[in-house]
Amino acid sequence: MKSSPFLIIETGQPFPTLRRYGRFPHWIRVAAGLEEAQTVVVDVEHGERLPDRHGFAATIVTGSAAFVTDRAEWSERSADWLREAAHGGMPLLGICYGHQLLAHALGGQVDYNPAGRESGTIRLELDPAAAGDPLFAGLPTSFAAQATHLQTVLRAPDGATVLARSAQDGCHAFRWGDNAWGLQFHPEFATHHMRGYVRARADCIARHGGCARTVSRQVSAAPQARQLLRRFVRHARAM
């Protein structure tokens, strides 16, 4: 029996210097262990319409250079779709912008991080609730992850469980209900993706008091964070 495909909502494109590695859905597919034929990609940023959610195993929402607070038409339309999907019990995974968009859709607060830009390989600290979470259970209480963002989830949606934080961000991961997760960090990033983003955002990193060369030198692999995509796929397929 053929398994249902995964829907990938594409909300943005990689920085131009990184597009030789493909688009975000490709990066996600590789990290998640999904074949192209097992996914359906909808580019909402460029006006593609979201399909009926029935018939999909789950939905993954990509990152973007856009800002949730701009309330773009395509973004708000996607938020409405995600809200309905979450209340319908569909497995959802939002990454970076997708994390923020899911939080916004469910009534959380998104805005610029008062601590400034977070870039590079960071350290995640898991909250105690993560020990019983379907995606995070069994992972170390502290591990590396890749991050690049200016905005953040300042307040998780009502009823959500915060699962991870960093020194700069108090909500790096949350779960809402049984099947909806937001990840501020990028589980799909390999080290070459992360270094490329650090180089591309060097001026912004400097404006926020950092040094891109130092951040780039400190980039390292983040295998535990990368595991989360495959764990999400397994969780969705087991439903």
Positions marked active-site: 96, 186, 188
Angle, vertex CA 16, rays to CA 10 and CA 18, nearest 5: 80
Report the run of H or E that residue 112 belongs to, with start and end.
strand 109-112
Report the run of H or E that residue 155 belongs to, with start and end.
strand 151-155
Cβ atoms of residues 45 and 84 within 8 Å: no
Q: How many CB atoms lie within 10 A of CB 64?
A: 22
End-to-end alpha carbon distance in the chain: 15
Q: Return the half-sphere exposure (C-beta side, CA atoms, 13 A cut-off) of residue 71.
A: 1
Cβ atoms of residues 57 and 90 within 8 Å: no
As given in the structure block, the two tokens for residue 226 are 């990368």
How many Å apart are CA 163 and CA 237, to the nearest integer? 22
- Sign for the pseudo-dihedral over CA of 130, 89, 92, 82: negative
Q: How does 160-178 read in b/e, with b if 16+ C-beta sit within 10 Å?
A: bbbbbbbebbbbbbbbbee
Q: Return the half-sphere exposure (C-beta side, CA atoms, 13 A cut-off) of residue 146.
A: 24
How many Å apart are CA 239 and CA 98, to the nearest integer? 22
